[in-house]
Amino acid sequence: QSVLTQPPSVSGAPGQRVTISCTGSSSNIGAGYDVHWYQQHPGAAPKLLIYSNSNRPSGVPDRFSGSKSGTSASLAITGLQAEDEADYYCQSYDSSLNGYVFGTGTEVTVL
């Protein structure tokens, strides 16, 4: 059972903007630990999309952006494209569990 909660699904038309929330608690995001985001296409390994709350690895389009506030974080995708259809996971560290935790995952559908 994940300690980071995400909406099961979000959808948008091509070109639109969608956001995915990641809600934690005082032992993870609220404790100041960094939040990272991953994209996973069906049958493929996850890919790092955003690290340390708002940083993009080389090669990740600037359509993807991350933010963090309090006990929550968000991933925004602007200019939605068909290739963005995938599952997205947030990740942080939890001091109560003494380990890394992932969000419940969000399926993004491009209408």
Partner 1 sequence: EVQLLDSGGGLVQPGGSLRLSCAASGFTFSSNAMSWVRQAPGKGLEWVSGIFGGGNNPWYADSVKGRFIVSRDNSKNMVYLQMNSLRAEDTAVYYCARFRGSGSSYAYSFDYWGQGTLVTVSS
Answer yes or no whether residue 27 interacts with partner 1 by CB under 8 A: no
Ordered DSSP codes for 75-111:
EEE-S--GGG-EEEEEEEEETTTTEEEEB--EEEEE-
Nearer to partner 1, 42 or 82 (CB): 42
| CB 18, min distance to partner 1, A | 19
Q: Which long-range contacts (CB under 8 A, 24 or more apart) does 57-64 make?
A: 64/37
Among 36, 66, 74, 84, the residue binding partner 1 under the rule CB under 8 A is 36
User: Which single residue is written with the structure tokens 């491009």?
Assistant: 110
- Residues of this chain that interact with partner 1 (CB under 8 A) are 2, 33-34, 36, 38, 45-48, 51-52, 57, 89, 91, 93, 97-105
